[in-house]
Amino acid sequence: MAQSQIINRVIISGGGTGGHIYPAIAIANEIKNRNPKVEILFVGAEGKMEMTKVPEAGYPIEGLWISGIQRRLTLDNLAFPLKLISSLWKARKIIKSFKPDLAIGVGGYASGPLLKMASRMGIPTLIQEQNAFAGLTNKWLADQVDKVCVATPGMDKFFPKEKIVITGNPVRSDIIGANSKRLEGLTHFGLDSDKPVLLVLGGSLGARTINDTMLQDVEKYLAAGVQVLWQIGKFYYKEVSSTLEAKGLQDVHPHEFIKAMDLAYSVADVVISRAGALSVSELCLVGKPTVFVPSPNVAEDHQTKNALQLVEADAALMVKDVEAKSKLAEVTLDLFQNEALRSKLSNAILQQARPHAAAEIVNEAEQLV
């Protein structure tokens, strides 16, 4: 194996969703922990959430004029060739100016032009794929990059086998010690320590199916003595919270967005969640009995594939989006009443955890420098 060395200058590219951005920031933090003097530059897509989330984490970012290809004929699709050429040109300019030792891509529109150009210019390149079904950008880059870090086995159907390393997905460091914070979490969210807690997660923007189903079934949970801690999401918060307020229900704790996810996980006895890669990785680390409701509105139905990795290992339960209104409450309440199944799921999902994913990815990156 090649001698590894400290990384002094690195470009990290990608974004579009929290599932790309937060792993990228975790990788950046690990590099910085090893070398506080490192210079890290992010490259994202103009107008996407990384352009605000990355500076909030303390890192500079440059934007490329790039977007994805829509499945229907749109003006954006017609402009795509122009955007790609523009982004490749700007990526080349950024690389020439910054002179990185390494370029890392985490998926999302911007990582395509940046990693493609870095590879052409002889810069060592590494990509990280979070999902069980590879994203379009990472598949496009597969033959050109030097190393591919993946979260799950069986990814050689998307990437050259000799380039693949299974590392898991990097998550925020505070998630790793979440279960020791239960008392703090109960106080933070104003919860009753004598009642079990259902944590409901639909992603930062929210999930229409999960929210509608919870509104339909919330009184069933309350009748069973279960408290509900509910991240409703940006798109649906006003509508759902006003409906809950009109009902005047106790023991329902709605939030637009939960920043203290470590504390939310700490209090949860059962979790209902979408199956984005980041959520799956975090739930493995905290070992919570989980009912996944994968979003059907994602490329190649990759959330179902993420969830099935755990369902097939007897480490989680799954309810299809189209069946949520008829089945979700029954499956979840049965889980609350079945301590043996909760314990089995919890132990099994912990076996899938990769708590040192960021460190393993940076080890691979250092080998390339």
User: Binding site for UDP-N-acetyl-alpha-D-glucosamine: residue ranges?
Assistant: 17-19, 131, 172, 204, 258, 277-282, 303
- Which residue, among 164, 165, 163, 185, has the nearest Cα to 174 in the 3D structure? 185
**Alpha carbons 173 and 146: distance in angstroms, whole number:** 27
DSSP H stretches of helix in the chain: 18-34, 50-56, 75-98, 111-120, 136-141, 173-176, 182-189, 208-223, 237-247, 261-267, 277-286, 302-311, 324-337, 339-350, 357-368
Q: Compute, in degrees rounded to 10, the torsion defined by CA atoms 18, 21, 26, 29.
A: -140
Q: Which residues are annotated as a binding site?
A: 17-19, 131, 172, 204, 258, 277-282, 303
DSSP letter for 37, please: T
Residue 282's CB is within 10 A of a number of other CB atoms, namely 25
DSSP-assigned beta bridge partners for residue 83: none
Instruction: Report helix, strand or coil for 252.
Output: strand
Do 39 and 9 contact (CB within 8 A), yes or no?
yes
The token pair that represents 21 in the structure block: 């951005």
Do 283 and 260 contact (CB within 8 A), yes or no?
no
DSSP-assigned beta bridge partners for residue 129: 150
Residue 285's contacts (CB-CB under 8 Å, 6 or more residues apart) are 171, 175, 176, 178, 353, 355
Residue with tokens 């030097």: 146
**Alpha carbons 34 and 7: distance in angstroms, whole number:** 9
Instruction: Report helix, strand or coil for 143.
Output: coil
**Alpha carbons 203 and 166: distance in angstroms, whole number:** 25
Return the half-sphere exposure (C-beta side, CA atoms, 13 A cut-off) of residue 238: 1
**Listing from the earlier edge strand, what are the strands of the sheet with 252-255?**
252-255, 227-231, 197-201, 270-273, 290-292, 317-318
